[in-house]
């Protein structure tokens, strides 16, 4: 296929989005069941535990996570882990832990790109968790989820990339497609997954460095976390003038700060990464 037709791919996919003709990946069933049960407000610890127990790997990881939260006691059973985490934290952690299942594509080049995006998302998620915990009143686990999904719009594009081999043959074309499509695809996907509005805004808004909302929100957290993740790199965002980014002011952080230079915050970021580690 010619370069011209390759350059047309983003427009083709945008048209598919507008016609609601683009197949979207589904959120894993276990995450939907836990989220719906928790959001319903009437589910007991035992009932939630029985839902989670249908996934042995997830059950084991949640027990590990609960032990990381409560280092003063040893938690051995799933019900104790659920009770320790609490419903809202549990709901967000379940979604956080199953998200990795989605970052796979049928063709190797696209799969490699998705793995790179996943690793970056883990870093942004860990920093977001720490920013929310230390500088805001926002829920740290929901901030972690916001960090994980900040580039989620790449997912349907890269899963479908096998239909457009020329996307993977030309890195410039792929990056162009990602830059044009990540925001609308991310918003569309999170709407399809019934994510709350404050998280739906993250894919489209986190790179809008001039954004200045009335309240400090998850977009602000992810904006700063994403910028922090690029410190020392040649990424274009690392070269931007961070002094003009309102999100830093709203979080009470100097635009010149490097969180990793603080022993306390660097340790907290490593602990947050550890929460998501298998």
DSSP assignment, residue 230?
Answer: T
Q: What's the pLDDT at 75? A: 92
53 domain-assigned? no
Is residue 134 assigned to a domain?
Answer: yes
Is residue 234 in some structural domain? yes
- Any domain includes 122: yes
Mean pLDDT of 91-113: 89
Q: Give the pLDDT confidence score for residue 165 in this predicted structure.
A: 76
Query: What is the pLDDT confidence band of residue 5, given thresholds at 50, 70 and 90?
Result: low
Cα–Cα dist 254/242, whole Å: 9
Most confident of 13-17, 70-74, 268-272: 268-272
- Determine contact, residues 218/232, Cβ cutoff 8 Å: no
Whether residue 86 is predicted with pLDDT greater than 80 in this model: the reply is yes
The answer on pLDDT for 153 being more than 60 is yes
Cite the DSSP H helix spans in 99-196: 108-135, 140-148, 154-159, 165-169, 171-192
Distance CA 140, CA 129 (A): 5
Q: Is the pLDDT of residue 29 over 90?
A: yes
Give the model's pLDDT for residue 9.
67
CB of 48 within 8 A of CB of 90?
A: yes
- Pick from 43-57, 164-178, 198-212, 240-254: least confident: 164-178
CA distance 274 to 5: 44
Encode burial over 228-251: b for 16+ CB neighbours within 10 A, e otherwise.
bbbeeeeeebeeeebeebebbebb
In eight-state DSSP terms, residue 209 is T
Q: What is the mean pLDDT of the chain?
A: 89
Could you tell me what percent of the chain has a pLDDT over 70?
A: 96
Q: Please report, for residues 161, 217, 242, 257, the alpha-carbon distance to residue 212 in angstroms, rounded to integers and kept in the order given.
A: 35, 10, 13, 20
Q: Kindly report which listed range (30-39, 130-139, 268-277) carries the lowest average pLDDT score.
A: 268-277
pLDDT at 4: 45
Q: What is the CATH number of the domain that holds 231?
A: 1.10.3210.10
The answer as to whether 126 is a domain residue is: yes
Closest to 206 (Cα-Cα) out of 112, 131, 271 = 131
Asked if residue 15 is part of any domain, the answer here is yes
CA dist 151 and 205 (Å) reads: 11
pLDDT (tens digit, 9 = 90+) per residue, 8-25? 666 777 777 777 767 788
In a domain, 176, yes or no: yes
Question: How many domains would you assign to the chain?
Answer: 1
Give, in order, the Cα–Cα distances in Å from 189 to each of 24, 160, 196, 203, 245: 7, 14, 12, 10, 27
Region 141-169: mean pLDDT is 87
Residue 194: which domain range?
A: 3-20+103-276
Report yes or no on 243 lying in a domain.
yes
């Amino acid at each position: 296929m010619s370069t011209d037709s390759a350059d047309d791919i983003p427009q083709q996919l945008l048209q598919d989005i507008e016609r609601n003709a683009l197949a979207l990946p589904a959120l894993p069933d276990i995450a939907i069941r836990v989220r719906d049960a928790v959001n319903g407000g009437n589910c007991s610890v035992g009932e939630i535990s029985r839902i989670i127990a249908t996934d042995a790997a997830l059950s084991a990881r949640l027990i590990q996570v609960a032990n990381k939260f409560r280092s003063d006691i040893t938690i051995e059973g799933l019900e104790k882990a659920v009770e320790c985490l609490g419903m809202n934290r549990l709901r967000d952690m379940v979604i956080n832990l199953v998200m990795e299942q989605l970052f796979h594509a049928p063709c190797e080049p696209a799969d490699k790109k998705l793995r790179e995006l996943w690793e970056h998302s883990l870093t942004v998620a860990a920093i977001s968790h720490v920013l929310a915990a230390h500088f805001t009143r926002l829920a740290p686990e929901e901030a972690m989820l916001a960090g994980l999904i900040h580039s989620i719009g790449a997912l349907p594009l890269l899963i479908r990339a096998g239909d457009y081999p020329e996307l993977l043959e030309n890195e410039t074309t792929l990056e162009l497609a990602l830059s044009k499509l990540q925001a609308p695809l991310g918003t569309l996907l999170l709407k399809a997954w019934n994510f709350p509005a404050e998280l739906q805004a993250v894919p489209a808004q986190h790179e809008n460095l001039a954004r200045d909302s009335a309240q400090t929100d998850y977009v602000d957290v992810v904006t700063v976390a994403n910028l922090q993740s690029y410190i020392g790199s040649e990424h274009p965002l690392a070269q931007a003038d961070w002094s003009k980014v309102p999100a830093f002011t709203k979080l009470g952080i100097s635009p010149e700060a490097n969180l990793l230079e603080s022993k306390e915050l660097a340790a907290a970021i490593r602990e947050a990464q550890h929460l998501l580690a298998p």
